[in-house]
């Protein structure tokens, strides 16, 4: 029996692994760790420690390289701000990451229920033209429909239908980038009509299919970088609303991050955006404790699940916090704690969508894309402003 970082003893078996350095034994992950609702802090600690006990419990992906790895991967550790966590390899692949050739994270075996979900994800990816309802997936897995639905929600935090929708959006993006005409890409991605895609284009792509096919060309984004109580603040916006907020110490790095996110858009500093100046001032007033209600319009791409989470975050009152479990329950997916944490980590409009108000169950701040110290400062600022009212 081996102790976990939090003092529990959940692992009791060892696997024999042969490699170039000889034979070694490592502790295998059991379903216990998958049910433990790992916080992003604990996942990151496992990555820093290269803890083999968590291999199979999750994978981490590095945005700057486009690669995902198992926690014990011997590669150099990335910056925390570049890392996203996923419950299974297929979830990382569904949004465009590829497996590390060094640690081969997709080969790790986990509990049977996770194995079933992974098999179904691979089957869906192998037949992108085929839409399977819950009954069809159940027949494929040899399980009852409700068991399949529960497994998807426990492991991925989304329903089978939502997962298939995400795959279809990914394929549409790929097809649009590889074709000169929009209509063939729409049908090749599995949509039955172009009108339906255009109706949902803003929610699924953040722009029209034609604009996405040009890599965002034609979009106009204005941005400003200003000093703030938390370091340099970048606010970027389209005519529809704020599309990107970033915090850091290096203005050049903030700008590079924006241009990488919107590689083909027309991006101008300050630009000719009538609302940008007032939106920047509103964010600064918030950071100075003078603007508790930061209610600005946003223009962001989001999956249905992300949009649910971000809407729930905007309902958290100023000066209060919620746990990841609280948000999961609020959106009707009480078991999707890890998926909620992931949605918080990928929030592109920090502060406007206050993901800093979500903390770990043990009371610790939890992870934050712009640094844990900034998160503590934000929480202290809001608590102090509330006390002074």
Catalytic residue ranges = 69, 355
The DSSP symbol for 355 reads: G
Closest CA to 217 of 177, 274, 170, 276: 177
Across the beta sheet with 98-99, what order do the strands follow? 83-86, 59-62, 67-69, 98-99
CA distance 132 to 186: 19
Across the beta sheet with 266-269, what order do the strands follow? 241-248, 231-238, 220-228, 266-269
Element (H, E) at 67: strand 67-69
First to last CA, the chain: 52
Paired tokens of 379 = 């929480």
CA angle 74, 76, 80 (to 5 degrees): 115
Return all residues near 175 (Cβ < 8 A) that are at least 6 apart.
184, 185, 186, 188, 189
CA angle 310, 311, 317 (to 5 degrees): 100
Closest CA to 313 of 350, 353, 363, 365: 353
The answer to whether 272 touches 222, Cβ cutoff 8 Å, is yes
CA distance 388 to 241: 31
- Nearest 5°: phi and psi at 329? -70, -40
Paired tokens of 105 = 């994270």
Paired tokens of 15 = 């696997």
């Amino acid at each position: 029996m081996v102790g976990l970082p939090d003092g529990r003893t959940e692992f009791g078996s060892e696997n024999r692994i042969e490699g170039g350095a000889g034979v070694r034994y490592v502790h295998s992950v059991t379903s216990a760790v998958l049910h433990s609702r790992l916080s992003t802090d604990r996942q990151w600690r496992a990555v820093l420690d290269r803890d083999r006990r968590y291999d199979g419990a999750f994978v981490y992906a590095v945005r700057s390289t486009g690669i995902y790895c198992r926690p014990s991967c011997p590669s150099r550790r990335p910056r925390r701000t570049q890392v996203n966590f996923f419950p299974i390899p297929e979830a990382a692949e569904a949004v465009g990451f590829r497996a590390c050739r060094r640690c081969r994270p997709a080969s790790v075996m986990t509990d049977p229920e996770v194995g079933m979900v992974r098999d179904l994800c691979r089957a869906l990816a192998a037949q992108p033209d085929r839409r399977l309802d819950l009954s069809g997936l159940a027949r494929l897995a040899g399980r009852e429909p409700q068991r399949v639905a529960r497994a998807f929600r426990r492991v991925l935090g989304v329903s089978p239908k939502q997962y298939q929708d995400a795959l279809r959006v990914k394929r549409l993006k790929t097809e649009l980038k590889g074709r000169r005409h929009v209509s063939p890409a729409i049908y090749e991605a599995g949509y039955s009509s172009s009108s339906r895609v255009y109706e949902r284009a803003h929610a699924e792509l953040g722009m029209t299919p034609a604009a996405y096919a040009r890599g965002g060309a034609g979009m106009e984004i204005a941005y400003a970088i200003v000093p703030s109580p938390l370091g340099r603040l970048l606010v970027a916006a389209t005519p529809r609303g704020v599309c990107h907020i970033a915090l850091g110490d290096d203005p050049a790095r903030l700008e590079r991050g924006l241009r990488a996110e919107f590689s083909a858009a027309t991006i101008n500093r300050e630009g000719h955006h009538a609302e940008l100046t007032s939106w920047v001032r509103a964010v600064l007033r918030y950071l100075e404790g003078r603007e508790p209600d930061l209610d600005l319009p946003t223009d962001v791409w989001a999956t249905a699940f992300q949009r649910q989470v971000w809407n729930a975050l905007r309902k958290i009152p100023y000066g209060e916090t919620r746990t990841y479990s609280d948000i999961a329950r609020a959106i009707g997916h009480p078991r999707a704690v890890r998926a909620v944490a992931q949605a918080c980590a990928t929030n592109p409009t920090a502060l406007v969508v206050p993901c800093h108000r979500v903390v770990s169950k043990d009371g610790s701040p939890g992870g934050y894309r712009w640094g844990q110290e900034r998160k503590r400062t934000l929480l202290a600022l809001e608590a102090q402003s509330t006390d002074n009212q």
